[in-house]
A and B are shown apart, each in its own frame.
Chain A
Amino acid sequence: MAKKKMPSVKKIYVDYNSTTPVHPEVVEAMMPYYRNVFGNASSIHRFGQEAHRALDLARESIAKLLNCDTSEIVFTSGGTESDNHAIKGIVSAASASSAMASAGNHIITSKIEHSAVLSPCKYLENTAGAVVTYLPVDEYGVVGLQKLDEALTDKTILVSIMSGNNEVGTLQPVEEIGRIIAKHNESRIAKGQRPVYFHTDAVQCAGKISLDLKKLNIDLLSLSSHKIYGPKGVGALFIRKGTKIHPLIHGGHHEKSRRAGTENIPGIAGFGKACDLAVKNMATETKKIAGLRDAIWQGISKKIECVRRNGHPEKCLSNTLNVSFEFIEGESLLLNLDLKGIAASTGSACTSGSLEPSHVLSAMGVDPVTSQSSIRFSLGMLNTQQDVDYILDVLPGIVTKLREMSPLYKKKKRAG
């Protein structure tokens, strides 16, 4: 009897918004700094100098990705630290300056930010007397510019609005937001007041859309290495020259006293390489990935009834697709996909410990039940048309099975 060929176990990763694999060239770029070039970048000897050179090179790579000055880049431990640094650092600097103490404690952010922005804001509300405005969004997850304009007061010190949303992919009009804030600042500067700073969490946007900081009125911008095929544990905060901000982590004179702690040289070198690759591959990769993402949505909407896409149909990260499958719950759909080798996600990995419906979908006006029925596909470098075909092959069966099990679907069928 001929041996039956064992079916190979599929492993399809469509959760790139939670993290990405490290690019092989990035791994290569990091290796020397684990082996021979292990010096402390603060040391004066040649070991230290070599390490420092790696730091300089990586800073150039990040500055190139953002079109900013190398002196405006501070390395951090990741996106969460960058967000915390931006928000707490601005509030701390504002309250420390005696002239400013009465001038401001107001932060404007949006309801759909990542928890790395929302939690520091809540913390400052509770402990530092900050007043926070959480701007609403429309049904696509876009912040209203009029609402922002109206929210700006003499007490405002910081606006923090993300560039691209991790859960639904919606892009915010950061260019216009920057313009509104700049306009507001004109009169402030004329009065000798401190300007309102604009921070954006661009963790999901880096490598997907071009961020030209010479053109955009952005003062602070957060990046994370592991979302762009770099290693985990590294990120950066862009701080525009002249911005009055305090450090988050105090200690030695690293990063020109803006962020203490011995630099993670291998990680930073890898992050630099990842930025080089992002600059080089952005145009071709985003086009390819958007094509695959669109194919998944077209397939789903053709093959499965009662589905809806969440997020903006055009102003969206090229790789992100958030879909509600009515009458079934997201986690059971995810687990079934995982059993078939497909790794997707419900909303955000950072909120998966929570049972609440997604705060992003809620802010977009998605009802809680539909929100619980949502999953996110976020694609990346290694995805292929075969992956898309496989997903579209197994997904309808899983949805049918779970709907047959659902008391909500039964009612819908009866209602006709």
Chain B
Amino acid sequence: MQYSEKVMEHFRNPRNVGEIENPDGTGRAGNPVCGDIMELYIKVKDGRIVDAKFKTFGCGAAIATSSMVTQMVKGKTIEEALNISNKTVAENLGGLPPIKMHCSVLAENALRSAINDYLSKKK
């Protein structure tokens, strides 16, 4: 199993690690039994995600996808963010080994969960 250069680059220097104080949305995905948990926090202003951060327990691919998805959502509207799929996260990382594709699903789920949290709070 080999990771792409892009995955390793994000693994070495993950972007947006940490938490947001008083986030507008918090998402959580994964299961520690499977070796992955991702928490994703978003700050939303005028319908646009202005900041995103994460905390992840997981393998190299889980950390790289967390880093990538937080980078991808910044500046996007909620609607645009909901269009981010696990495939686009993996593509942006130059692909993932087949056995690690579930990590990109984890990123998508964490993002959706954060957005849902934001939308439910807004109501």
Contact = CB atoms under 8 A, between A and B. Distances in A.
Physical interaction between A and B: yes
Contacts of B57: 327-329, 405-408
B23 interface: no
Contact of B56 (A339, A352, A405): A405
Given A369-B32, A405-B57, 5 more contacts: A327-B57, A331-B60, A357-B35, A372-B35, A406-B56
Contacts of A415: none
How would you classify the secondary structure of chain A's contact residues: helix, strand, loop or mixed?
helix
B36 interface: yes
A352 B60 CA distance: 14
A328 B56 CA distance: 9
B87 interface: no
Interface residues of A, number: 21
Contact of B59 (A331, A368, A410): A331
A405 B64 CA distance: 12
Contact of A407 (B1, B11, B39, B99): B39
Contacts of A405: 14, 17, 55-57, 63
Contacts of B19: 410
Contact of A329 (B1, B35, B55, B102): B35
A345 to B, nearest CB: 13
A404 B32 CA distance: 16
Contact of A353 (B28, B32, B99): B99
Q: How large is the interface on B (under 10, 10 to 19, 20 to 34, 35 or more residues)?
A: 20 to 34
Interface in A324-370: 327-332, 335, 339, 352-353, 355, 357, 368-369
A408 B32 contact: yes
Counting from the closest, the 9 A-B pairs by CB-CB distance are A331-B59, A372-B35, A407-B55, A368-B33, A369-B32, A407-B39, A406-B57, A335-B60, A408-B57
B32 A332 contact: no
Contacts of A332: 11, 58-60, 62-63
A185 B69 CA distance: 63
Contacts of B33: 357, 368-369, 372
Contacts of A407: 28, 37-39, 55-57
B93 to A, nearest CB: 15
B1 A353 contact: yes
Given A331-B59, A332-B60, A353-B99, A408 B14 contact: no
